[in-house]
């Protein structure tokens, strides 16, 4: 079994946030953070692929949710880390198989949302690190050539969803010690 690191998937999630922010310009909302500083906001559109990835990013401290209303979850957030900072950050306290399964389940949603062809990863919306840090390290992603990476649903089902459905006690992304941020 070959698995990429949780850190590599976190990087892909943050890359996706920056990619979405850049693609949305000039229509992005600028909203005040907790200190009144205006931030260009990432809007997850209440779509599970971005809701889940932003929850992972918030847990590791890479983004922060902009609180619009005191008792409701907000669909807006802003990055706290640059991509360079994320690339070198120490996420070792999150490197567990359950977190890997959670992150891969989430990443599959992003792949499904952004790929035009079934079972093929749209490399145009993945980071430049994807081939080396994710695809070449994980047996879910057979690399056919530099321009074509597949997504093996059978392998994903076998290793990720088997864990997801049966012994995974809590389907949350958390530190090794179980403490929530």
H or E element at residue 144: strand 143-145
Last residue of a domain, one of 88, 111, 135: 88
Average confidence score pLDDT of the chain: 90
Mean pLDDT score, 134-156? 91
CB atoms within 10 A of CB 177: 6
- What does the alpha-carbon distance between residue 55 and residue 9 come to, in Å, rounded to a whole number? 13
Q: In terms of C-beta density within 10 A (0-12 exposed, 13-18 middle, 19 or more buried), how is residue 6 classed?
A: buried
Q: What angle (nearest 5°) sits at the alpha carbon of residue 115, between those of residues 22 and 132?
A: 75
Domain count within the chain? 2
Of residues 169 and 100, which shows the higher confidence score?
Answer: 100
Q: Based on the domain organization, do 12 and 84 belong to the same domain?
A: yes
ω into 26 cis (within 30 of 0): yes
Q: For 25-61, what is each residue's pLDDT tens digit?
A: 989 999 999 999 999 999 999 899 999 999 999 999 9
H or E element at residue 145: strand 143-145
Q: Based on the domain organization, do 30 and 45 belong to the same domain?
A: yes
Q: For 124-141, what is each residue's pLDDT tens digit?
A: 999 999 999 999 999 999
- What does the alpha-carbon distance between residue 173 and residue 164 come to, in Å, rounded to a whole number? 12
| Residue 69 belongs to a domain | yes
| Residue 54 belongs to a domain | yes
H or E element at residue 63: strand 63-65
Determine the structural domain holding residue 98 and report its residue range: 92-165
Residue 110 DSSP code? H
């Amino acid at each position: 079994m070959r698995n990429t690191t949780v850190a590599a998937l976190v990087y892909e999630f943050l890359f996706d946030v920056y990619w979405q922010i850049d693609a949305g310009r000039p229509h992005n909302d600028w909203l005040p953070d907790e200190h009144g500083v205006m931030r260009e906001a990432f809007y997850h559109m209440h779509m599970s692929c971005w809701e889940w990835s932003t929850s992972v990013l918030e847990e590791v401290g890479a983004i922060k949710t902009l609180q619009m209303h005191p008792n409701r979850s907000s669909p807006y957030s802003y990055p706290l880390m640059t991509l360079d900072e994320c690339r070198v950050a120490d996420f070792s306290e999150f490197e567990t198989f359950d977190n890997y399964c959670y992150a891969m389940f989430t990443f599959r949603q992003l792949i499904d949302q952004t790929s035009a062809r079934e079972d093929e990863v749209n490399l145009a919306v993945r980071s430049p690190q994807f081939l080396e840090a994710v695809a070449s390290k994980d047996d879910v992603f057979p690399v056919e050539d530099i321009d074509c990476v597949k997504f093996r649903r059978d392998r994903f089902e076998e290793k990720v969803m088997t864990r997801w459905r049966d012994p995974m006690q809590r389907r949350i992304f958390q530190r090794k010690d179980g403490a929530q941020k």
